[in-house]
Amino acid sequence: MAPQQQFDPAPELAEVQTATDRFLASISDLDADAIAAPSLLPGWTRGHVCAHVTGNAESLINLLTWARTGIETPAYPPGDGRERAIEAGASRSPSEHVAGVRSSADQFARAAEQLPPDRWDAEVTWRGGAVAPVRGVLWARLRELEIHHVDLGLAYAPAHWDEDLSGHIMANVTGGFRALDPAPAFDLHAVDTDQRWQLGDSRAKVVVSGAQAALLAWLIGRSSGDGLSADDLDGQGTPLPVPPPWL
């Protein structure tokens, strides 16, 4: 039997670094008023988004530490510690936000690079209680950076997500929706990639169509559905359904 190939984090780390650089470029020239302005997330300013992105890196470092040492190191403190930290960090100055995002990203990269190759399959407990291999932190970090970059409400939009990224997130989101009881009563068709997603046990009576990134943005609450259409099985137009909350 051929030896199992060890996981190589380098390609995913490179993607994370590219996404980090893009995020930093967007916030580097913001002044105090712009940082304090509302983001696209209800109740959150851009400062909240930046504080969350910083805290997310720190939480994933905790999981990498857990995998490396074998000592249980939860992603976040118990209770509402995550929310309190975001609120406390939201009012930082623009330069403090830039420094926080950059420093936490650098620490995350170092923690990933220092993890021994045989520890990438170590299982850790994620926020929400799921137990899964720690290698998922790389994908989780990329997803957080890309989605919350859009949430800043600046120039970066869902249309900037490339096909691989949006397809990966779509697989994650639709898998979660299929597990709901009941599952959403609509299916999806990405007209630009010709990908289709069946959300229920059988073909739904309504199909929502549009560009893959636009479908994803709508599914995760980052769009009201501009550019999308919904049709019944006879091809007759129908109002867009309401997707379930994405948690």
| CA–CA distance, 53 with 55 (Å, rounded to integer) | 5
Q: How many domains does the chain have?
A: 2
Domain final residue pick, 102, 137, 156 = 156
Q: Whole domain around residue 61: which residue ranges?
A: 10-156
| CATH number of the domain residue 76 falls in | 1.20.120.450
Span 20-31, pLDDT tens digits:
999 999 999 999
Let me know: does 232 contact 210? Beta carbons within 8 Å.
no
Residue 227 has pLDDT above 80, yes or no: yes
One domain, residues 15 and 63: yes
Work out the average pLDDT over 230-239: 92
Question: Which pLDDT score is estimated for 35?
Answer: 98
Question: Does residue 29 form part of some domain?
Answer: yes
One domain, residues 38 and 143: yes
* Chain mean pLDDT for the chain: 94
One domain, residues 47 and 140: yes
Question: Does residue 91 form part of some domain?
Answer: yes
One domain, residues 66 and 41: yes
One domain, residues 186 and 137: no
Tokens of 246: 């994405």
One domain, residues 143 and 192: no
Burial of 196 (0-12, 13-18, 19+ CB in 10 A): exposed
The letter for the amino acid at 245 is: P
One domain, residues 142 and 201: no
Q: What is the DSSP string of the chain?
A: -PPPPPP--HHHHHHHHHHHHHHHHHHTT--HHHHHSB-SSTT-BHHHHHHHHHHHHHHHHHHHHHHHH-S---SS-STTHHHHHHHHHHT--HHHHHHHHHHHHHHHHHHHHHS-GGGTT-EEEPTTS-EEETTHHHHHHHHHHHHHHHHT-SS--GGGS-HHHHHHHHHHHHHHHHTSSSPPS-EEEETTTTEEE--SSS--SEEEEE-HHHHHHHHTTS-S-TT-EEEETTS-B-PPPPPPPP-
Question: Which pLDDT score is estimated for 7?
Answer: 87
In percent, the amount of the chain with pLDDT more than 90 equals: 87
One domain, residues 108 and 226: no
One domain, residues 198 and 127: no
Span 24-52, pLDDT tens digits:
999 999 999 999 999 999 999 999 999 99
Residue 1 has pLDDT above 80, yes or no: no
Question: Which pLDDT score is estimated for 234?
Answer: 86
Q: What burial letters (b/e) apply to 27-41, b meaning 16+ CB within 10 Å?
A: beebeeebbeeebbb
Question: Does residue 240 form part of some domain?
Answer: no
The letter for the amino acid at 23 is: F
